[in-house]
Structure 1
């Protein structure tokens, strides 16, 4: 049952992501049809296809998974992350999201979790904003 719910959740995320990627500005490769939205669209299409395959496979599977509260918690964090991205901006919302996911899945040392979340988020932010020259949401706060 949890496979069906999670695969539907991923399918919805891929549809929303594809819809949002349609609004990205065309980048430096506009003549070839590639732009800032090309890669996110490809990822969303792949995610949608894989989630459909997972949904179909869940009917053939005889595994009975118990409901895992960690899975549900991570799904809620994903939804919260989508809503916080526009308000808080990429950097702050990604730090909060990654800290939440790491804390749910790995409850060892909070200081290590915070350090990893901050370094990971800053690294990804630097990679996309400076190296790939992609503008990320800055937030309205």
Structure 2
């Protein structure tokens, strides 16, 4: 009897993990207009609760011919936003002037640009049951 219970538990766990893995998708983000191949592009994926605080996932993308692409893997369905910046001097942070103006190019999902930092409402997009591919402009 103990063996049967263990077998049923193991089968249930396996099926549950397989279903959960099937619900997760990948998000591929490409910055299409990087002004130089110097440095790298930093990408950060957020949901509403983590926006501009702690990213759910973050990655640096190599720049080749003015483009940089990364893929966020195993993302659950939901509403997300991506912010990215061109780290020209490779110092792992966005640089600002003394007046707090950005010295490096930046962008966000949905390509909504204003003379202000990105907002979740302007950058949000929906992830369902299919992989997502986004082009972002600086």
Q: TM-score band, normalised by the shorter chain?
A: under 0.3
Which is richer in strand? 2
| Larger of the two Rg values belongs to structure | 2
TM-score (norm 2): 0.25
